[in-house]
């Protein structure tokens, strides 16, 4: 994919979204349920779309929220529903729509005080904290499209386990929501907003204080404070903007916070690789502004709009590759969490770096490799079967210091502050720490490319079998494994992974675009990586016909 000429540049006025027009479209445009692009469709992170394209409008949220209410009834979930939203322009009206439907159906609802913003991990933390105390089970909704452009909206449901809903749940909600759309919303119950806010069981909640007060259970906040390191935190105008201020005050940190006011146009952003505004804290283009300030701080970090992802900026390396930081976090935590269960494993997605495998082997920890999607870490984290779960797209969570569960959704705040703990305790930033890992285990080259593919090819890739890979070698090395199911849990990976000693590739068809993705890594350098990519495309071409 070519780099846009404005990538990494401040967003010009010409690319900014017309926020009033977008919100107006949310209320005035009606989706056509006969058009597949305008129906409710849950991906790995909920339903997403734009009001301009009739894929995220009031009708969608009315239908989806009613479907969630009915799912809760079927599943016997009678506790409070924790409702949160991020700072995208469409999140505010969608949050109000959801609140109206929930109240009309008699649900107990907790929403942020003064209609504040709430990160995804805070909702997960609230669900787990409530459910640990016993009584009727709680669940939650987060209105967010994550790091997607300002034109987009999103809606995620988290069941009582606190993490992303699995496919069985989202399929049920999606089917019921689309049936409601087809019926012209007959069956959807709704109250006016002022009446909804007066409904018994609907109440404001201080989400900030319990989460901030609990941080000492998962991080060594004292060592960060006592070290007095200089910290730069870029809230990126996202849902955690009030949290960093509260954390700074509560723990006495030397922390400067940037972009801590909401701007639904996100006009302060630098453009991403494709020339769009995207609050992707793992993108060197989107993070240009914070990277330019790296020498002012001992450690700096940013988060995407719902604060479930992290971007770590160090004086030694600038913005860290997410895979590199995951390896550092795993190595450090395994050495500084004596309360963690000794037999528990390290969770990684199958497209994450094999550096994690090498680090885990040295630590004597088994690796639990699962398909793409944080939902696969939910139950293992709850049961203490893994101490850490991380994915290559800069999302992770880990156990409390005593070995109890913290969150079962990605927590960008905790992963960001962990970088400060690492810096404070070891005297070197995570970039320098990764340099030590490279000396011990090698220096991998990693990349992902998108290859054009029509629906036929994508469907073919979904159904590949290991026997269809006729080659015995990959870039000159014997193939050690051909996987269509994840070795950590046996679940289908929706594609294929081919592994050799010093390199691997994985192929996954996109569910939303006319491309398939090739993830590849080599411990033998860039030229070897290119050979792996070329052979991967050739293998796909042969089996896809």
Residues 207 and 118: beta-carbon distance below 8 Å: yes
Write down the pLDDT at residue 541.
86
Tokens standing for residue 161: 């386990």
Tokens standing for residue 38: 């305008």
Nearest-angstrom CA–CA distance, 146 and 409: 13
For helices 91-104 and 19-28, the axis angle rounded to 10 degrees is 30
Mean predicted confidence (pLDDT) in 89-97: 98
Tokens standing for residue 271: 């453009």
Mean predicted confidence (pLDDT) in 262-283: 97
Domain ranges of the chain: 17-206, 211-441, 445-544
Instruction: Let me know if the fold of 17-206 is the same as that of 211-441.
Output: yes
What CATH number was assigned to the domain covering residues 445-544? 3.30.310.50
Pairing relationship of beta strands 473-474 and 477-485 according to DSSP bridges: antiparallel
Sheet holding 318-319, edge to edge: 254-258, 230-234, 299-303, 310-314, 318-319
Is residue 195 over pLDDT 80? yes
Q: Which residue bears the tokens 């590199």?
A: 324
CA trace torsion 506, 4, 457, 175 (10° rounding): 90
Active site residue 146: yes
Tokens standing for residue 210: 């319990």
DSSP string, 503-520: EEEEEEE-SSSSEEEEEE
Distances (CA, A) of 201 to 120, 188, 191: 22, 19, 14
Write down the pLDDT at residue 100.
98
Q: What percent of the chain has pLDDT over 90?
A: 92
Residue 438: pLDDT band by 50, 70, 90 thresholds? Answer: very high
CB under 8 Å to 351, separation ≥6 — which residues? 372, 392, 448, 497, 506, 508, 519
How is residue 42 annotated by DSSP? Answer: E
CB atoms within 10 A of CB 3: 12
DSSP string, 399-438: --TTS----SS--HHHHHHHHHHHHHHHSS-HHHHHHHHH
Options 50, 91, 124, 146, the catalytic residue: 146
Give residue-wise pLDDT tens across range 119-150. 999 999 999 999 999 999 999 999 999 999 99
Q: Which residue bears the tokens 């320098």?
A: 432
Write down the pLDDT at residue 468.
87
How is residue 327 annotated by DSSP? Answer: H
CA trace torsion 507, 494, 166, 209 (10° rounding): 0
Residue 512: pLDDT band by 50, 70, 90 thresholds? Answer: low
Residue 544: pLDDT band by 50, 70, 90 thresholds? Answer: confident
**Of 473, 544, 543, which Cα lies nearest the Cα of 503?**
473
Which of 4-8, 43-47, 159-163, 197-201 is least confident?
43-47
Burial grade of 277 (CB within 10 A; 0-12, 13-18, 19 or more)? buried
Is residue 1 over pLDDT 70? no
Query: What b/e string do you get for 482-517 counting C-beta neighbours within 10 Å, with b at 16 or more?
Result: bbbebebeeeebbbbbbbbebbbbbbbbeeeeebbb
Nearest-angstrom CA–CA distance, 48 and 55: 7
Residue 405: pLDDT band by 50, 70, 90 thresholds? Answer: very high
CB under 8 Å to 49, separation ≥6 — which residues? 55, 56, 60, 152, 153
Candidates 3.40.630.30, 3.30.470.10, 3.40.120.10, 1.10.287.130; CATH matching 17-206: 3.40.120.10
- Higher-confidence residue of 451 and 214: namely 214
CB under 8 Å to 421, separation ≥6 — which residues? 219, 220, 221, 223, 224
Residue 159: pLDDT band by 50, 70, 90 thresholds? Answer: very high
Nearest-angstrom CA–CA distance, 23 and 26: 5
Tokens standing for residue 47: 């339903």
Determine phi and psi for 402, rounding to 5 degrees. -90, 5
Nearest-angstrom CA–CA distance, 144 and 84: 9
Is residue 510 over pLDDT 90? no
Residues 110 and 82: beta-carbon distance below 8 Å: yes
Nearest-angstrom CA–CA distance, 121 and 407: 6
Tokens standing for residue 19: 């926020």
Residue 470: pLDDT band by 50, 70, 90 thresholds? Answer: confident
CB under 8 Å to 292, separation ≥6 — which residues? none
Average pLDDT score over the chain: 96
Candidates 1.20.120.530, 3.40.120.10, 3.40.50.2300, 3.30.565.10; CATH matching 211-441: 3.40.120.10
Determine phi and psi for 220, rounding to 5 degrees. -90, 80
Nearest-angstrom CA–CA distance, 293 and 313: 9
Mean predicted confidence (pLDDT) in 489-503: 95
Is residue 545 over pLDDT 80? no
Residues 468 and 357: beta-carbon distance below 8 Å: no
CB under 8 Å to 110, separation ≥6 — which residues? 80, 81, 82, 83, 126, 203, 204, 205
CB under 8 Å to 261, separation ≥6 — which residues? 237, 241
Mean predicted confidence (pLDDT) in 15-41: 97
Give residue-wise pLDDT tens across range 161-190. 999 999 999 999 999 999 999 999 999 999
Distances (CA, A) of 447 to 220, 355, 362, 526: 33, 14, 25, 10
Give residue-wise pLDDT tens across range 296-328. 999 999 999 999 999 999 999 999 999 999 999
Give residue-wise pLDDT tens across range 226-243. 999 999 999 999 999 999
DSSP string, 328-385: HHHHHHHHH-TTS-TT-EEEEETTS-THHHHHHHHHT--EEEE-SSGGGGHHHHHHTS
Residue 108: pLDDT band by 50, 70, 90 thresholds? Answer: very high
Is residue 404 over pLDDT 80? yes
Is residue 201 over pLDDT 90? yes
């Amino acid at each position: 994919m070519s780099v846009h000429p404005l990538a990494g540049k401040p967003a010009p006025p010409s690319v900014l979204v017309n926020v009033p027009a977008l919100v107006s479209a949310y209320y005035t445009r009606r989706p056509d349920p006969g058009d597949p692009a305008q129906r409710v469709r849950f991906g790995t992170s909920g339903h997403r779309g734009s009001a301009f394209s009739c894929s995220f409008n009031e009708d969608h949220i009315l239908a989806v929220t009613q479907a969630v209410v009915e799912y809760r009834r079927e599943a016997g979930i009678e506790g409070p529903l924790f409702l949160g939203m991020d700072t995208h322009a469409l999140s505010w009206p969608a949050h109000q729509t959801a609140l109206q439907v929930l109240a009309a159906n008699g649900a107990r609802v907790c929403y942020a005080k003064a209609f504040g913003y709430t990160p995804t991990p805070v909702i997960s933390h609230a669900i787990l904290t409530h459910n640990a105390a016993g009584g009727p089970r709680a669940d939650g909704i987060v209105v967010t499209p994550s790091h997607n452009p300002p034109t987009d909206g999103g809606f995620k449901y988290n069941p009582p386990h606190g993490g992303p809903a699995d496919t069985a749940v989202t399929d049920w909600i999606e089917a019921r929501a689309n049936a409601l759309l087809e019926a012209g919303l007959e069956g959807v119950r709704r109250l006016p907003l002022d009446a909804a806010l007066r409904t018994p069981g609907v109440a404001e909640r201080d989400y900030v204080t319990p989460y901030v007060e609990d941080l000492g259970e998962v991080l060594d906040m004292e060592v960060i404070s006592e070290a007095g390191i200089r910290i730069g935190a870029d809230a990126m105008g996202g849902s955690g903007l009030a949290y960093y201020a509260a954390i700074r005050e509560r723990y006495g940190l030397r922390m400067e916070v940037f972009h801590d006011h909401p701007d639904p146009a996100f006009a302060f952003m630098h453009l991403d690789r494709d020339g769009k505004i995207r609050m992707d804290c793992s993108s060197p283009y989107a993070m240009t502004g914070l990277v330019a300030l790296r020498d002012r701080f001992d450690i700096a970090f940013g988060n995407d709009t719902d604060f479930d992802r992290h971007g770590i900026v160090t004086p030694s390396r600038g913005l860290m590759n997410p895979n590199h930081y995951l390896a550092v976090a795993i190595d450090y935590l395994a050495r500084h969490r004596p309360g963690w269960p000794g037999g528990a494993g390290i969770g990684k997605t199958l497209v994450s770096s094999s550096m994690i495998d090498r680090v885990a082997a040295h630590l004597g920890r088994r690796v639990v490799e699962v398909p793409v999607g944080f939902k696969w870490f939910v139950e293992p984290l709850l049961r203490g079967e893994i101490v850490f779960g991380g994915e290559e797209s800069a999302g992770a969570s880990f156990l409390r210091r005593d070995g109890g569960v913290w969150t079962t959704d990605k927590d960008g705040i905790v992963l960001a502050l962990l970088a400060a703990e690492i810096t404070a305790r070891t005297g070197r930033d995570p970039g320098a720490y990764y340099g030590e890992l490279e000396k011990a285990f090698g220096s991998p080259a990693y990349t992902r490319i998108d290859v054009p593919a029509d629906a036929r090819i994508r469907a073919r890739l979904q159904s590949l079998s290991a026997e269809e890979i006729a080659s015995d070698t990959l870039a000159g090395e014997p193939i050690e494994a051909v996987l269509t199911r994840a070795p950590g849990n046996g679940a289908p990976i929706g594609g294929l992974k081919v592994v050799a000693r010093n390199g691997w590739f994985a192929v996954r068809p996109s569910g939303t675009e006319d491309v398939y993705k090739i993830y590849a890594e080599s411990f033998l350098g860039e030229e070897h990586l290119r050979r792996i990519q070329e052979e991967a495309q050739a293998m796909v071409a042969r089996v896809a016909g």
